[in-house]
Amino acid sequence: MGEIVLDQVTKTFGHVQVIPPLDLQIEDGEFVVFVGPSGCGKSTLLRLIAGLEDVTTGEIRIDGEPATHTAPAKRGLAMVFQSYALYPHMSVKKNIAFPLKMAGLPQSVIEEKVENAAKVLNLTDYLDRRPGQLSGGQRQRVAIGRAIVREPSAFLFDEPLSNLDAALRVNMRLEISELHNSLKTTMIYVTHDQVEAMTMADKIVVLNAGRVEQVGSPLDLYNAPRNLFVAGFIGSPK
């Protein structure tokens, strides 16, 4: 499960409509990238899907049900924040276990889920360390681990790699793609980086001032950009 539908969704802050009526369909298991320049509404759109913002008009449906809950976890979604959102005073194990503790799961179940997540993310040897004793990439993996343990129907990433250095970014891109291949869970990934979009996405949604300029596979967008904005942004020779 992990189908997400946006039906004529709008968002207005004060008097400014930052998302004009927008339709979008995300299939179960897809890796979808929202790409566009800074300020175009990527984070707002992700926060609307997560339930961290209310839609002004329109409807979001998750697996066919109107999404009325106002927390990602209640919508069955996990938001992956940047690595600096970790608790510095807690071990890796406790950071990953935190959402499960909050949910009141028994300790034995928590242990097992944390172990499994650590295995998937190559963090088994680091469970007793504090975030400050980890590299940037390891910290980012802990942030992802905290999402994995809840077994969400979709993962939502908002520029998760933007404060990592270039080499590490390339590495983490591959790791997140591999994670998608093994979990096969819907992922929505927000970035302003065309290269990330082109290399990671099954489907790219190009945004410009809150509007969807084009939706398509990386190849579609490269070969047949619908307009100059898409062509310029995707870096096609056209």
Across the beta sheet with 65-66, the strand order is 16-26, 4-13, 57-62, 65-66
**Shortest separation between residue 1's beta carbon and ligand ADP, angstroms:** 27
Amino acid present at 108:
S
Alpha-carbon 81 to chain mean position: 8
Binding-site partner at residue 163 among ligand ADP, Mg ion, none, CB < 5 to 8 Å by type = none
Choose one: 36-44, 52-60, 88-96, 138-146; the region binding Mg ion (CB under 5 A). 36-44
**Shortest separation between residue 13's beta carbon and ligand ADP, angstroms:** 3
Is the Cβ–Cβ distance between 26 and 5 less than 8 Å? Answer: yes
Which helix (H) or strand (E) segment is 181 a member of?
helix 166-183
Binding-site partner at residue 39 among Mg ion, ligand ADP, none, CB < 5 to 8 Å by type = ligand ADP
**Shortest separation between residue 106's beta carbon and ligand ADP, angstroms:** 38
Residue with tokens 């596979």: 217
Binding-site member from 10, 17, 25, 43 for Mg ion (CB under 5 A):
43
Closer CB to ligand ADP, 13 or 84, in the complex: 13
Closer CB to ligand ADP, 149 or 205, in the complex: 205
Cα-based torsion angle of the residue sequence 56, 73, 79, 131 in order, rounded to the nearest 10 degrees: 140
Residue partners of 30: CB distance under 8 A and separation at least 6: 186, 187, 202, 203
Q: What is the C-alpha radius of gyration for the chain, rounded to an integer number of angstroms?
A: 18
Binding-site partner at residue 18 among ligand ADP, Mg ion, none, CB < 5 to 8 Å by type = ligand ADP
Is the Cβ–Cβ distance between 100 and 110 less than 8 Å? Answer: yes
Where on the chain is the footprint of ligand ADP (CB under 6 A)?
13, 18, 36, 38-44
* Residue 199 DSSP SS3: helix
Residue 17 interacts with Mg ion (CB under 5 A): yes or no? no
**Shortest separation between residue 219's beta carbon and ligand ADP, angstroms:** 24
Binding-site partner at residue 206 among ligand ADP, Mg ion, none, CB < 5 to 8 Å by type = none
Closer CB to ligand ADP, 38 or 108, in the complex: 38
Q: How many residues can be counted in the chain?
A: 238
Alpha carbons 153 and 227: distance in angstroms, whole number: 34
Two structure tokens written together for 116: 């499994």
Give φ, ψ of 71 to 5 degrees: -140, 140
**Shortest separation between residue 44's beta carbon and ligand ADP, angstroms:** 3
Closer CB to ligand ADP, 39 or 235, in the complex: 39
Choose one: 41-49, 104-112, 118-126, 206-214; the region binding Mg ion (CB under 5 A). 41-49
**Shortest separation between residue 128's beta carbon and ligand ADP, angstroms:** 36
Closer CB to ligand ADP, 123 or 190, in the complex: 190
